[in-house]
Structure 1
């Protein structure tokens, strides 16, 4: 009797024992999976205090401009974190460097993280072979100090939101990249968690959006700067030459629409293509769009890099857009840079860079070389062609048209005797779906280009000519 009762009592105990065994097996299996497959993710999680301590246990490599100016470095710190990131130039280079904080990294700090921290296999191996300390590699950028500061000071003087980019058209090297308003990355490099949280909240909540890299990630209606694309498509079609006569009525009714395109000062009813490009002859260029059709115009836009998607330089640049499908009235608007056309300031600079380089657009890049602490170079930039936009002869025609087009406000076509090729534009707030922006794309010298620039200002009002002044200051700095 006692034996049967004992057996009856042992039945649930045996079940509990089997359940505990199963749970223990599941726990051990889960721990094994975490150790085998999840360790990398846990170590990379910046909420992991051990990871943070290791992250700041050794100095990150410096970030320098092409001229050698240190724009990000590490300095000894007190407390549990041995080194702190410092940005000696503050906000001037924030659009390029980004920042490193306890929570995240942005800009070049993020794009070149393994190299800067020394975790990249090439850095580790070379450092061990040379008897190094294991510190991160130094990243030298293509940014030129004079051009960057000219862009930064020019944008700051306006007090407006916007961006400015300069490119070497022969190589694709980015000489300047500035966005406004901006921020001081030192304020986010603090180890004070409460201060960091307050600063992050303030910057994220600001209506001015200082953390937005407008140069790479803000899309604007290109306005008359898009006439470079339309003119290139017209010349490539074989139906147009710079001297061909165009129809430029005072107003042009769009097919199947009650909307009219109006000229604001063309001054000629039958201008040449050259004159129509120089003056604000919107009806003439809308007519070119109607004549060419959506396919030819879209193909030329995509040859310049529209609709190509994200471009990494190595910072991620949003893709500029040209509408994939348009009716006739929309095609006419697209031909003058309206409708759904959108371009980043980087693309605005790339328009001129392609024309300046005989129709070959080089891939933009920001990193010139990477060096170990002892100066040994472990990687160096190799310029590569990104797109063939147009034949060289057509590029020269278009360059000549840009070199004779008037600047904003009737500004001089030269800087210290150097001829400038330029196309300025405004997108008035009255255009449906458009923003109030002023833009300019330019290159110089017109005969032997060394720099191409793109500048955009948001809501300039009566200060639209400032966009040309900034472009001229950047060109002057690049050529000096």
Structure 2
């Protein structure tokens, strides 16, 4: 055999070997990931040929599959679609399992999860139609409605937690959308709806509760206060500097209060009063005294920086590293580059409420198979201990004063003790501030913790304050849970 023929033979063998290896890799190694791609057309056709499991709230379906007369066999329908859209997400033949529970629990809802393997085998052998599992959520319908109604047309988000377990009682994000518009079988209409939602400047597809990061403003003073009390150098009655203007080191810039004058006689104020009236200069002074490492470490104990799922993935909240002193002073009052999700600030309130222990947040209560057998039941888990019980008690008393006679009086509920903290967060030059409120109630036996953010001051614009705009929304959500 001459040399050219030998080279050609070798080349053919290499090509055949490459083809064999690539086909083997695709069929055996990549098969699972390719099958599970949410926009895999073959997977979608297969899934649409069987009944997808429902998503339930208090036993009632908010998402279910309904039989049709067309080739796709089933269509996904959402009751109260706009109210629950950021929880459920959507299931579309064009776009697959998009966001929310539809995406994070897709294997269970579609019937492809490992827990349903034996059920699938029996279905094949008996000729029974395959079905997905049902997923029941922890959400309280009254709290969810109160959150959505409270936001109204304002952009923002509300999260309510059971501080004892971490169960999500409400998760509202506005603007919202109707997932039914993405679930239909008129593909041209579905694509037009999706493009319209993507082009909307208000980003209705974004779940602001867990995906958007905001400066927390003065609600972060609870974290700074926790760091101070946990250091052992301060108590709720400790007196700290609270001048009208704080001269920041290393810069010609100064830091001022949101009101005229100092925070107390002789430019001094105790910690409880400083939180009650939201004294910027007092907490900036605390930040300088504690240092950026102490503030960051305390924030991390509340869950900052953690990558968690509820089961939808949550954007980690941030306290920057390596801050200089002016930056640390700003961070101590929730400004500079501190960024949080509303869920994270609900976790801060819940951690204080739960004797200093932060529970891992979750939204799935129970998963049941098509035969109603329980496949999974939520088991509350401790995420971290943020502060010890004595510090939690002090923070609770301080936050009670905020609502009793401080900046958060609009969150008062007759006959019920409420602990809270307002926030007004500057975020862009010339733009109105975000309005914040975090709270829990009853303060002496906590059953609900809430965080509210209203973007750009909502209807109040530049006149917005957390106590004026966000606190009444939080009050309505707490009342809905406690009613």
Whether the aligned pair in 2 keeps the contact of 1:128 and 1:134 (CA below 8 Å) is no
| Structure 1 residue 88 corresponds to structure 2 residue 79 | yes
Paired position in structure 2 for 1:346 = 343
Give CA-to-partner distance per residue, 1:434-454, whole Å, 9 cap, x none: 972011100000110000000
Paired position in structure 2 for 1:303 = 301
| Structure 1 residue 142 corresponds to structure 2 residue 138 | yes
Whether the aligned pair in 1 keeps the contact of 2:335 and 2:426 (CA below 8 Å) is no
Give CA-to-partner distance per residue, 1:380-439, whole Å, 9 cap, x none: 01001001001101101000100111488663553131111110110235779x972011
Aligned equivalents of 2:373, 2:413: Cα separation in 1: 40
Aligned equivalents of 1:133, 1:239: Cα separation in 2: 66
Paired position in structure 2 for 1:312 = 309
Whether the aligned pair in 2 keeps the contact of 1:348 and 1:440 (CA below 8 Å) is no
- Of 136, 146, 150, 1:154 maps to 150
Task: Name the stretch that deviates more: 200-209 or 35-44.
Answer: 35-44
SS at match of 1:252: strand
Aligned equivalents of 1:57, 1:107: Cα separation in 2: 22
Whether the aligned pair in 1 keeps the contact of 2:411 and 2:475 (CA below 8 Å) is no
SS at match of 1:154: helix
Whether the aligned pair in 2 keeps the contact of 1:77 and 1:83 (CA below 8 Å) is yes
After TM superposition, the score normalised by the length of structure 2 is 0.90
Q: Cα offset for 1:24?
A: 5.8
Task: Name the stretch that deviates more: 142-151 or 26-35.
Answer: 26-35
Aligned equivalents of 1:137, 1:40: Cα separation in 2: 20
Aligned equivalents of 1:472, 1:213: Cα separation in 2: 22
Any residues of structure 2 matched to 1:22-421 within 5 Å, and which? 27=19, 30-45=22-37, 49-65=41-57, 67-102=58-93, 103-105=95-97, 106-126=99-119, 133-156=129-152, 159-265=153-259, 267-268=263-264, 269-308=267-306, 310-406=307-403, 411-412=409-410, 414-421=412-419
Whether the aligned pair in 2 keeps the contact of 1:282 and 1:336 (CA below 8 Å) is yes
Whether the aligned pair in 2 keeps the contact of 1:135 and 1:373 (CA below 8 Å) is yes
Whether the aligned pair in 2 keeps the contact of 1:139 and 1:371 (CA below 8 Å) is yes
SS at match of 1:426: strand
Task: Name the stretch that deviates more: 19-28 or 103-112.
Answer: 19-28
Aligned equivalents of 1:25, 1:341: Cα separation in 2: 55
Whether the aligned pair in 1 keeps the contact of 2:158 and 2:172 (CA below 8 Å) is yes
Whether the aligned pair in 1 keeps the contact of 2:63 and 2:79 (CA below 8 Å) is yes
* RMSD between aligned residues: 2.5
SS at match of 2:470: helix
Whether the aligned pair in 2 keeps the contact of 1:404 and 1:413 (CA below 8 Å) is no
CA 1:21–1:123 in 2, change beyond 3 Å: closer, same or farther? closer
Whether the aligned pair in 2 keeps the contact of 1:74 and 1:84 (CA below 8 Å) is yes
CA 1:21–1:302 in 2, change beyond 3 Å: closer, same or farther? closer
Whether the aligned pair in 1 keeps the contact of 2:440 and 2:446 (CA below 8 Å) is yes
Whether the aligned pair in 1 keeps the contact of 2:410 and 2:471 (CA below 8 Å) is no
Whether the aligned pair in 1 keeps the contact of 2:355 and 2:393 (CA below 8 Å) is yes
Give CA-to-partner distance per residue, 1:229-274, whole Å, 9 cap, x none: 1111111112211112221111011101111111233541211111
| Structure 1 residue 471 corresponds to structure 2 residue 474 | yes
SS at match of 1:349: helix
SS at match of 1:459: helix
Aligned equivalents of 1:383, 1:143: Cα separation in 2: 15
Paired position in structure 2 for 1:3 = none
Task: Name the stretch that deviates more: 110-119 or 372-381.
Answer: 372-381
Q: Cα offset for 1:150?
A: 0.6
| Structure 1 residue 453 corresponds to structure 2 residue 444 | no
Aligned equivalents of 1:339, 1:32: Cα separation in 2: 53
Q: Cα offset for 1:27?
A: 4.6
SS at match of 2:239: coil
CA 1:81–1:393 in 2, change beyond 3 Å: closer, same or farther? same
Give CA-to-partner distance per residue, 1:348-375, whole Å, 9 cap, x none: 1111000000000000011111012232
Whether the aligned pair in 2 keeps the contact of 1:94 and 1:183 (CA below 8 Å) is yes
Q: Cα offset for 1:39?
A: 3.8
Q: Cα offset for 1:124?
A: 2.9
Q: How many residues align?
A: 467
SS at match of 1:353: helix
CA 1:217–1:431 in 2, change beyond 3 Å: closer, same or farther? same
Q: Cα offset for 1:35?
A: 3.3
Give CA-to-partner distance per residue, 1:131-161, whole Å, 9 cap, x none: 87431111011111111111111112xx221
Aligned equivalents of 1:380, 1:68: Cα separation in 2: 15
CA 1:338–1:129 in 2, change beyond 3 Å: closer, same or farther? same
Q: Cα offset for 1:188?
A: 0.6
